[in-house]
């Protein structure tokens, strides 16, 4: 078994007998993404390297151009993600986009894509700005002109939960005041990727076959039951009372009735959500049949927005706030841009989709934050059809059907051959987009299976930052560790000791 890569002349990380790389995951006290990407730094002169998970060989892509080819031109060889979940044990996540494969994924993705276009995002923006603006007003009131000491992951995950509950499920909650409301508590358990669920998520990604065989589940049973019941109830109410609300449930009900279209013309003229927006690829022509969008499919889709969207967007906001707190000149410059644009707003405070897109410095700050602190540092593909390519030394390599492939997005972003002085936070890298290596800059992945929610994530992060800097100056609290210490036990990217900040009201 362990001579697999030797025979193929592919450099590989030497395995610990029987455990392979899984041993390092549990013994090295390093973050899972760094352990999985270790071959990237060991073998700088190859397009791909090998690794063993238990006794099974798997690949790590080193060359962003190879990733791009696999994800676009040769997509048919790599249509799947590696994870396999059972609907009996994980009824929500097994139906969600990230975890479905094959024909079901094609039907699901082509059905959902029209719900994420720029024009749909703009029409949802009102709900988002209302939820975030209301929360910000309550925060300002509670500050009573004095600095608030807050842990920002808690704050942003509350705001994010409320926004997603509103735009996904059509329910308005206030998790700043009603701190233990059921939607927040369940949403937090749904989006949780540290502790036990994080460990299970890692297992499902690293050793998917073992995970499947033992019928393990990622999600808590009570969370599945809560959402399946809440969404079915919500759909029945809408259908009985003919309620129309510009949110995801509405769009998915349109998909069910086959009436969800895209406003192509509008989308062509609409400015995109930012430099980092993941490009849309058409897969429609390759889809056989349509998904019937049962209630459980609609719930599964909405749950995947929580699972894929809340932690990642919260991470983006936390690390951006951290950088702004320790780089006051960047914060001042961003605040000046926000103030300038706020003056042009009809009510002088509520941002619009269009105004956010006009803010160039905001876009640079967010783009750089996604590079420096990649929220989703490693993605994967499963080879669905044998694939041959040429390595840097001229040898032909064939990846066989069924093999797993990891793609180290974080390593691309922190590689000095693509981004000089990579650990420095410097929004000016994005001053001229032509200077950015766009194959290596992939915070939302690339190709037909890239992140479907990039517009929503950017729009939400920019809206929250707009409100935060309009109302507060973000300063490090004494409890904040500088430089930040990463929590190596979390499956996502998190600070070990929290994001403790002082929010100083600007009116103080
Ligand atoms: C800053 C925030 C976010 C980051 C950095 C991020 C990043 C990513 C990445 C890297 C992937 C994998 C792409 C690939 O394999 O090529 C992905 C997939 C996905 N993301 Fe996001 N994401 C974010 C926010 C969101 C939001 C807000 C949503 C939903 C509303 C979302 C929904 C999804 C889904 C459903 C997939 C699976 C797509 C598929 O398999 O077809 N993400 N995301």
Query: Which ipTM did the prediction report?
Result: 0.99
Q: Which of 451, 454, 491 to mutate for ligand 1's pocket (most ligand atoms within 8 Å of CB)?
A: 451
Predicted confidence at residue 50, as pLDDT, reads 95
10-residue block means of pLDDT along the chain (508 residues)?
90 82 74 92 96 87 98 96 87 88 89 87 90 95 94 95 87 92 86 73 79 82 88 88 85 83 63 84 63 85 83 96 98 98 93 94 98 96 97 95 96 98 98 95 96 94 97 98 93 94 91
Predicted confidence at residue 321, as pLDDT, reads 98
- Alpha-carbon distance of 260 to 103, in angstroms, equals 20
Predicted confidence at residue 431, as pLDDT, reads 96
- Is the Cα dihedral 323, 324, 326, 329 positive or negative? positive
Predicted confidence at residue 267, as pLDDT, reads 63
Q: Are 330 and 338 in contact (CB under 8 A)?
A: no
Ligand 1: which residue has its CA nearest to atom 6? 444
444 to each of 276, 279, 437, how far by Cα in Å? 8, 9, 15
Predicted confidence at residue 266, as pLDDT, reads 61
Ligand 1: which residue has its CA nearest to atom 7? 444
Q: Are 340 and 459 in contact (CB under 8 A)?
A: no
Predicted confidence at residue 395, as pLDDT, reads 93
Predicted confidence at residue 283, as pLDDT, reads 66
Tally of helices (H runs) and strands (E runs) in the chain:
20, 9
Ligand 1 center to residue 234 CA distance, Å? 25
**Does residue 116 line the site of ligand 1, with CB under 6 A?**
no
Predicted confidence at residue 270, as pLDDT, reads 67
**Does residue 376 line the site of ligand 1, with CB under 6 A?**
yes
Residue 265 CB partners (closer than 8 Å, separation 6+)? none
Predicted confidence at residue 271, as pLDDT, reads 67
Q: Which atom of ligand 1 is nearest to the CA of 443?
A: 5
How far is C-alpha 89 from the chain's CA centre? 24
Does the global pTM surpass 0.90? Answer: yes
- Alpha-carbon distance of 480 to 323, in angstroms, equals 12
Residue 463 annotated as lining a ligand binding site: no
């Amino acid at each position: 078994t362990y001579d697999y890569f030797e025979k193929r002349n592919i450099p590989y990380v030497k395995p610990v007998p029987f455990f392979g790389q899984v041993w390092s995951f549990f013994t090295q006290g390093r973050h899972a993404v760094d352990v999985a990407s270790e071959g990237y730094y060991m073998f700088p002169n190859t397009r791909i390297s090998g690794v063993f998970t238990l006794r099974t060989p798997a690949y790590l892509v080193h060359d962003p151009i190879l990733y791009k080819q696999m994800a676009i031109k040769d997509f048919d060889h790599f249509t799947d993600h590696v994870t396999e979940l059972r609907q009996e044990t994980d009824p929500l996540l097994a139906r969600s986009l990230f975890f479905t494969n094959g024909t079901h994924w094609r039907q699901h993705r082509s059905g959902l894509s029209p719900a994420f276009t720029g024009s749909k995002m703009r029409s949802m923006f009102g709900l988002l700005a209302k939820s975030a603006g209301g929360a910000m007003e309550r925060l300002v009131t509670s500050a009573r002109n004095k600095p608030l000491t807050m842990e920002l992951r808690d704050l942003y995950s509350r705001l994010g939960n409320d926004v997603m509950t509103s735009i996904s499920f059509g329910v308005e909650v206030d998790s700043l005041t009603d701190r233990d409301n059921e939607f927040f508590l369940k949403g937090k358990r749904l989006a949780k990727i540290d502790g036990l669920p994080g460990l299970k998520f890692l297992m499902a990604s690293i050793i998917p076959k073992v995970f499947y065989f033992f019928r393990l589940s990622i999600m808590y049973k009570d969370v599945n039951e809560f959402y399946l019941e809440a969404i079915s109830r919500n759909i029945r109410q809408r259908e009985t009372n003919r309620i129309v609300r510009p949110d995801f449930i509405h769009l998915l009900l349109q998909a069910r009735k086959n009436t969800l279209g895209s406003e192509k013309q509008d989308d062509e003229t609409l400015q995109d959500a930012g430099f980092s927006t993941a490009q849309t690829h058409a897969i429609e022509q390759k889809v056989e049949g349509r998904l019937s969008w049962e209630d459980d499919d609609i719930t599964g889709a909405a749950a995947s927005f929580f699972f894929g969207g809340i932690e990642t967007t919260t991470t983006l906001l936390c690390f951006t706030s951290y950088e702004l707190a320790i780089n006051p000149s960047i914060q001042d410059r961003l605040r000046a841009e926000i103030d300038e644009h706020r003056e042009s707003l009809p009510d002088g405070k509520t941002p619009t989709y269009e105004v956010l897109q006009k803010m160039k410095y905001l876009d640079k700050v967010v783009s750089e934050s996604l590079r420096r602190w990649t929220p989703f540092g490693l993605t994967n593909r499963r080879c669905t059809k044998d694939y041959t390519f040429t390595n840097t030394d001229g040898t032909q390599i064939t990846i066989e059907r069924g093999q797993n492939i990891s793609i180290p997005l974080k390593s691309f972003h922190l590689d000095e051959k693509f981004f000089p002085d990579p650990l420095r936070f410097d929004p000016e890298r994005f001053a001229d987009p032509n200077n950015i290596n766009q194959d290596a800059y992939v915070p939302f992945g690339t190709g037909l299976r890239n992140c479907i929610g990039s517009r929503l994530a950017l729009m939400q992060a920019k809206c929250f930052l707009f409100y935060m800097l309009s109302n507060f100056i973000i300063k490090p609290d004494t409890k904040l560790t500088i430089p930040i210490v990463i929590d190596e036990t979390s499956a996502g990217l998190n600070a070990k000791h929290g994001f403790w900040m002082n929010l100083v009201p600007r009116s103080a």
